[in-house]
Amino acid sequence: MRESDGVADLTDVTQTQGGWLSSNDLEQARGALPIVYIEAVPVRVDALGNVTHVGLLLEATPTGTLNRTLVSGRVHLGERIREALLRHIEKDLGPVALPRIPTDPTPFAVVEYFQSPEVSGFVDARQHAVALAYVIPVAGDCEPSSQALDIAWLTPREAASQDVLVQMIGGRDRVLRMALAHAGVLP
Amino acid sequence: MRESDGVADLTDVTQTQGGWLSSNDLEQARGALPIVYIEAVPVRVDALGNVTHVGLLLEATPTGTLNRTLVSGRVHLGERIREALLRHIEKDLGPVALPRIPTDPTPFAVVEYFQSPEVSGFVDARQHAVALAYVIPVAGDCEPSSQALDIAWLTPREAASQDVLVQMIGGRDRVLRMALAHAGVLP
Amino acid sequence: MRESDGVADLTDVTQTQGGWLSSNDLEQARGALPIVYIEAVPVRVDALGNVTHVGLLLEATPTGTLNRTLVSGRVHLGERIREALLRHIEKDLGPVALPRIPTDPTPFAVVEYFQSPEVSGFVDARQHAVALAYVIPVAGDCEPSSQALDIAWLTPREAASQDVLVQMIGGRDRVLRMALAHAGVLP
Amino acid sequence: MRESDGVADLTDVTQTQGGWLSSNDLEQARGALPIVYIEAVPVRVDALGNVTHVGLLLEATPTGTLNRTLVSGRVHLGERIREALLRHIEKDLGPVALPRIPTDPTPFAVVEYFQSPEVSGFVDARQHAVALAYVIPVAGDCEPSSQALDIAWLTPREAASQDVLVQMIGGRDRVLRMALAHAGVLP
């Protein structure tokens, strides 16, 4: 659901693994079926599991504005959801982020993105996406990938502030607040 | 993930709504992407919400054997998961089943079906399906649709018996036991 | 955690069932152990399970102000959580509220109330209470009990407005927003 | 709910913190109120979060037989559930077990133990206990405490075998299978 996703798919097209699609095939599929996504809210936790910080990605959009966003991306053909979570977190936070993929593969929310804002309030201009959303503690060092300009680690209170929420588009501010509520740290 | 699903899609092809696909397009999509499914375990409950009975569908396979199975089917383009749940339950249990679609759209499990039994243990010979699984109380009268030969209402103990579990294929016996565990009635 | 709870226990003391305690015994227990509570957010839902309205109780406090609150109360000795849910909902919403007690007895949140606001942000001046919180659809007619002055049915947007949230004490506004987030209707 | 619990409370009585009770006070409370417990299924996970092994404690009962059991214990007055989880895991698995307490404090199941086997099927001869149950990955070295004779790390398949399940009492075999189902590894 991120603008960068199409680019990534274009780059990936030389891969031989069955999970990859040409841009053209992906466009065709998007006109026919809902697409399975994962969405992850990276967090820092203390020894008791309390969320101390939330990681938000800063990205430049094609129109030149800056958005804050979450880790997200497609689940490939033949790929486990766990594998997609790990792959997208490493893509966005770097190879030594050391995410703790949950034992329980059930998401805290299923977020339904539609092209029209009227259906669910969650919007993805390119497609109908069914995103499985997870809160993922990361224990290692994080460095922004080429797609993201920066990663900011905010306290739950900072992350839930109006200043930050208005920088998130497509309803991702609601996903963030749902994640904070789920983790018991919605201010 | 049911054998009948391809037939249903073929019949549906004259619909004008964007959610429908021709059999050909669906085959192509199945070779490219994971497909979003819902899976529902219909149950009868008492006034305290205790599961008293589980509804299993009896179906004839193309090879002539009889299987027990759950309610399942694709989520269409542009369709909410809630709508897909209601549509498939009404398709399999009839129009007056009166299912209680949950307020919380989060599934009790995400079941990942692959063509190879090695990946997750859940098998669908036709596709990689990501099925969102729900326990759904039904309050009304249920009558088997044309696809299902019969609906049997079994106690949790009967449903979890070896006699019944061996009649379920593709790992659906595990989905059933996960549903019973989730509802607190796994014997 | 409601002010009325002590009074109810006093009245109940003549009951012979083991679950009841004298006010004195309850005070002693509160000084020794965390007390098990249930907390319920009553909701109206449409046929697809979407939450259309949230029921909030209006209560007069001993100091004369008006608060909005949720259904809550103790779990008695020997009582199932399901039974406590049904009992407290019928006590607060009347005998024909027809609540749909969930098949899955797992709460959407465990809310920890302490006497000091520093521990968790959830406060109960009288005790350490561990409250299991549920979103409960009610299908029947609701009438306020003697304890509650009124029940107001608000849309999720109205319920999450500042005007309403400031009328809830002890952190119950956060429980309400967590419930809305869980049900996918946090504005 | 473990036989050792009363002994532990007796030892703890010299502590000054408000959470501790004399054996006598605890007995009195058990006759009056449900007692809040935590229950933890310790697991080993791989980098993708898959459960590879389940840790079961081996304990000698007063009657001389050997039981397999889970980590469990009371939540003290004034104690967060997270703190109780950490305290009991360190008590049973040693100080360097490095448990990953979940960000989300919601249990995968609420297990209701009663003195009579008829009420819920979960039995605790001493009390009505409401146990919040969690699957907890542990990353460090585990060594049995003085209470436990040994810790065995079994694969999910071994843990769910009849040989092992019959060694668990009070319904803990069902809690274990519910945990395996929740983590997607019930065979």
D149 confidence band (pLDDT: 50, 70, 90): confident
Task: Decide: residue A34, CB within 10 A, 0-12 exposed, 13-18 middle, 19+ buried.
Answer: buried
Distance from CA of B65 to the nearest CA of A (A): 29
Distance from C-alpha of A20 to C-alpha of A35, rounded to nearest angstrom: 13
Asked whether the predicted pLDDT for residue A93 surpasses 50, the reply is yes
Does D120 touch chain C if contact means CB atoms closer than 8 Å? Answer: yes
pLDDT at B78: 96
pLDDT tens digits for range D34-50: 999 999 999 999 999 99
Task: State whether B103 and C137 contact (CB < 8 Å).
Answer: yes
Neighbours of chain C (3+ CB pairs under 8 A): A, B, D
Of the candidates A68, A87, A91, the one whose C-alpha atom is nearest the C-alpha of residue A149 is A68
A27 confidence band (pLDDT: 50, 70, 90): confident
Phi then psi for C39, rounded to 5 degrees? -140, 130
Bridge partners, B112 (sequence order): B130
Asked whether the predicted pLDDT for residue D18 surpasses 70, the reply is no
Q: How many CB pairs under 8 A join A and C?
A: 22
Asked whether the predicted pLDDT for residue A10 surpasses 60, the reply is no
What number is the average pLDDT over the span C150-157?
A: 95
Under 8 Å between Cβ of A49 and D81: no
D27 confidence band (pLDDT: 50, 70, 90): confident
> Going by C-beta distance under 8 Å and a sequence separation of 6 or more, which residues neighbour residue C75?
C36, C37, C38, C81, C84, D34, D130
- What mean pLDDT value characterizes chain B? 88
Task: State whether D174 and B182 contact (CB < 8 Å).
Answer: no
D19 confidence band (pLDDT: 50, 70, 90): low
Report the share of chain A in percent with pLDDT over 70.
Answer: 89
Does C32 touch chain B if contact means CB atoms closer than 8 Å? Answer: no
pLDDT at A21: 72
Distance from C-alpha of C71 to C-alpha of C92, rounded to nearest angstrom: 7
pLDDT at C20: 59
**What is the end-to-end Cα distance of chain C in Å, rounded?**
27
Task: State whether C181 and A177 contact (CB < 8 Å).
Answer: yes
Higher-confidence residue: B170 or C18?
A: B170
Task: State whether D110 and C81 contact (CB < 8 Å).
Answer: yes
- What mean pLDDT value characterizes chain C? 88
Torsion angle (degrees, nearest 10) of CA B13, B19, B25, B31: -140
Closest chain A residue to D87 measured between Cα atoms? Answer: A48
Tell me which residue has tokens 């460095």.
A143
- What mean pLDDT value characterizes chain A? 88
C7 confidence band (pLDDT: 50, 70, 90): very low
pLDDT at C8: 36
> Going by C-beta distance under 8 Å and a sequence separation of 6 or more, which residues neighbour residue C84?
C38, C73, C74, C75, C76
| Token reading at C69 | 């609150």
| Residue B47 CB neighbour total at 10 angstroms | 11
> Going by C-beta distance under 8 Å and a sequence separation of 6 or more, which residues neighbour residue A154?
A53, A54, A56, A164
Task: State whether D137 and A82 contact (CB < 8 Å).
Answer: no
Element housing A10 (H / E): helix A4-11
Higher-confidence residue: D14 or C120?
A: C120
CA angle centred on B125, ends B120 and B126, rounded to 5°: 115
Under 8 Å between Cβ of B86 and C47: yes
Instruction: Find chain B residues with C-beta within 8 A of A28's C-beta.
Output: 28
Window 72-91 of B, Cβ < 8 Å to C: 80, 82-83, 86
Distances (CA, A) of B73 to B24, C125, D111, D152: 18, 51, 33, 42
pLDDT at C13: 38
Global pTM value: 0.91
Neighbours of chain B (3+ CB pairs under 8 A): A, C, D
What number is the average pLDDT over the span B105-116?
A: 96
Q: Taken in order D156, D157, D160, D165, is the CA torsion positive or negative?
A: negative
Helix D172-182 / helix B172-182 crossing angle, nearest 10 deg: 120
| Residue A25 CB neighbour total at 10 angstroms | 17
Higher-confidence residue: B101 or D10?
A: B101
Element housing D23 (H / E): helix D23-30
Under 8 Å between Cβ of D74 and D60: no
Task: State whether B181 and D184 contact (CB < 8 Å).
Answer: no
D20 confidence band (pLDDT: 50, 70, 90): low
Distance from C-alpha of B61 to C-alpha of B147, rounded to nearest angstrom: 10
Does A129 touch chain D if contact means CB atoms closer than 8 Å? Answer: no
Asked whether the predicted pLDDT for residue D159 surpasses 90, the reply is yes
| Token reading at A89 | 């977190």
Asked whether the predicted pLDDT for residue A178 surpasses 50, the reply is yes
Reported ipTM: the value is 0.88
pLDDT tens digits for range A56-66: 999 887 788 88
Task: State whether C79 and D34 contact (CB < 8 Å).
Answer: yes
Does D174 touch chain B if contact means CB atoms closer than 8 Å? Answer: yes
pLDDT at C27: 83
Q: DSSP states of B121-143 as a string?
A: S-B-TT--EEEEEEEEEB-S---
Phi then psi for D44, rounded to 5 degrees? -100, 140
Task: Decide: residue C158, CB within 10 A, 0-12 exposed, 13-18 middle, 19+ buried.
Answer: middle
Task: State whether C106 and D108 contact (CB < 8 Å).
Answer: yes
User: What is the SS3 string spanning chain C?
Assistant: CCCHHHHHHHHHHHCCCCCCCCHHHHHHHHCCCCEEEEEEEEEEECCCCCEEEEEEEEEECCCCCEEEECEEEECCCCCCHHHHHHHHHHHHHCCCCCECCCCCCCCCEEEEEECCHHHHCCECCCCCEEEEEEEEEECCCCCCCCCCCEEEEECHHHHCCHHHHCCCCCCHHHHHHHHHHHCCCCC
Distance from C-alpha of A155 to C-alpha of A52, rounded to nearest angstrom: 6
pLDDT tens digits for range A136-164: 999 999 988 767 779 999 999 999 999 99
Task: State whether A36 and B34 contact (CB < 8 Å).
Answer: yes
Distance from C-alpha of C97 to C-alpha of C95, rounded to nearest angstrom: 6
